[in-house]
Amino acid sequence: MSKYYIGLSVTYHDPALAIIDDQGNVLFAEATERYLQNKRALNCVADPLLHVKDLLEQYCPAADEFIIAINWRKKRPLYENVVAALGCLTAPGLLKTGIKKIRSPLRNYQLHHMIASQRNCITSAGLNLVRIISEHYPACGISFADYHHHLTHAATACYSSPFTEAACAVIDSFGEQGSMAFYHFKNQQLECLYEAKGTGSIGFYYMKVTELCGFDWLKGEEWKVMGLAPYGKLNPELYQLLKSTISVQGFTCQHHSKSLFTSITALEKFKRHDQDPIEQAADLAYTGQYFFAELMTSLLQHLQHETGCTNLTLGG
C-alpha cells in the first residue's frame, strides 16, 4: 500500500506544492510561480490543473491513498465570517462606504482584499488535485488535513533547524486570529506560549513603510526598504510619528486607537512619489527599519525571558 502526502501552501501569495511519501521523504517541492512563470503567483492555486497530472504520474505511480494537507485552517475566524456575511469580501464589497475603519495602518479595502483572497484560496484548496485523482486514480482513498497557519511556520522553522530546544517567533502580517505567535520547541514538540489576536501587526507596519518609500508590497518589495536603509539616517520627527502608530508590550502588539489615523495621515508628507528619486526615501527606510528593529528586539527579549532559551528560530 502506497500512501502519499500532498502538501499545499495555499496562502494567496507565493503558493507551493510538495509531495511526501509514507516514509517522510520529500519527492517533490516547488513554488507555483516557477511552473507558471508568474512572480509570486498572486491569487493562483497551489495545484495547477494541467501540472498536477504530470506530477502524480511521475512521483506517485502506484498510489493507494492520498492525504491532502493545507497550511490554513478551514474554519475561519469570527471577524472574517462577519465581513463575508456583510458582503465586504466581494468586488462590489471593496467599494462599500460607511464601514468603520479597521485599526490598522492599511486601508480597509486593502485588508478586505487580502482576507477575501485568502478565503478564496482556502475554499478552493485541493480542488484540482481531487479532480485529477478521481479520474486517474479512482480506487485511491483521499483524506484532508488543515493546520493552523502560524503552527506551520513554526514547524518549518524548528524542524529544519539544528536545535533540540529553541524559542520560536512567528512574525507575520496576519494569520487565523492575529499576526504573531510564539512557541517553545523541545523534545520535537511545539508548545504555544502566545497567539496574537486582533489587528496589531508589525507586518502591516512594515508594509506601510514599504508603501511610503514608494515600493509595492504586493510585489514583495519589502526587501528594498532593507536595502535602502543603510543609506539613510534617523529622522526624529518621523521616528516619533511611527512610534505613535504601534507599540509592543510583552507579546502584545497593538495600534493606538486615539492617535493611529491622525499619525497615518501625517506620515503621508514623508511619502516618496513615483517621480521622486529613490534616494529621497533613504531616511524614511532607515527610520522605519530602526523602529522595526526596536519592536523586534522587545519581542525577542521577552521571548527569551519566558523560555530561557539561547537558541532562536524565526518564521513568518
Q: What is the pLDDT of residues 26-39, one digit of tens each?
A: 999 999 999 999 99
Torsion of CA 196, 199, 205, 211, to 10 degrees: 140
Q: Do residue 208 and residue 298 come from a single domain?
A: yes
Q: Shortest CA distance to 286 belongs to which of 224, 203, 216, 221?
A: 224
What is the domain-level CATH number for residue 271?
A: 3.30.420.40
CA distance 149 to 315: 11
pLDDT level of residue 259 (50, 70, 90 thresholds): confident
Tally of CA atoms within 13 A in the half-sphere of 15 that contains its CB: 29
Specify whether 99 is located in the same domain as 63.
Answer: no
Bridge partners (DSSP) of residue 315 are 170
Average pLDDT, the chain: 96
Q: What is the band of 257 on the pLDDT scale with cuts at 50, 70, 90?
A: confident
Cα distance from N-terminal residue to C-terminal residue, the chain = 36
Instruction: Answer whether residue 164 shows pLDDT above 90.
Output: yes
Residues 62 and 175 in one domain: no
Q: CA angle, corner 175, sides to 171 and 176, nearest 5? A: 140
* pLDDT for the residue numbered 263: 95
C-alpha cell at 308: 530561557
- The three cell numbers locating residue 58: 511521475
Domain that holds residue 276: 149-316
Asked if 140 and 63 touch (Cβ cutoff 8 Å), the reply is yes
Q: Rounded CA gap, 300 and 81, in Å?
A: 32
How much is the pLDDT for 253?
A: 95
pLDDT beyond 80 at 188? yes
Same domain, 142 and 158: no
Same domain, 46 and 95: no
Tell me, yes or no, whether 131 and 12 share the same domain. yes
pLDDT at residue 186 greater than cutoff 90: yes
162 and 296 part of one domain: yes
Give the residues across from 170 on adjacent strands.
181, 315
- For residue 1, is pLDDT > 90? no
Backbone angles phi and psi of 184, in degrees to 5: -115, 120
- Measured in degrees and rounded to the nearest 5, phi and psi for residue 206 equal -70, -35
Residue 298 burial (CB count, 10 A): 16
Cα 296 to Cα 248: distance, rounded to the nearest angstrom = 9
155-160: average pLDDT: 97
Do 90 and 132 belong together in one domain?
Answer: no
The pair phi, psi for residue 274, each rounded to 5°, is: -55, -35
According to the model, what pLDDT value does residue 196 have?
Answer: 95
Over 90: is that where the pLDDT of 99 sits? no
Q: Are 7 and 95 part of one and the same domain? A: no
3-state SS, one letter per residue, for 160-175: CCCCCEEEEEEECCCC
Number of structural domains in the chain: 3
Whichever domain contains 12, its CATH number is: 3.30.420.80
What separation in angstroms does the CA of 159 have from each of 186, 190, 310? 11, 10, 17
Tell me how far apart the alpha carbons of residues 163 and 61 are, in angstroms, rounded to a whole number.
36
CA–CA separation, 187 and 43 (whole Å):
37
Cβ atoms of 252 and 302 within 8 Å: the answer is no
141 lies in the same domain as 153: no
* Per-residue pLDDT at 21 exceeds 80: yes
* Residue 108 shares a structural domain with residue 31: no
- What pLDDT, in 10s, does the model give residues 195-240? 999 999 999 999 999 999 999 999 999 999 999 999 999 999 999 9
Across 86-223, where does the E strand assignment appear?
Answer: 141-146, 165-171, 180-186, 189-195
Q: Are residues 191 and 292 in the same domain?
A: yes
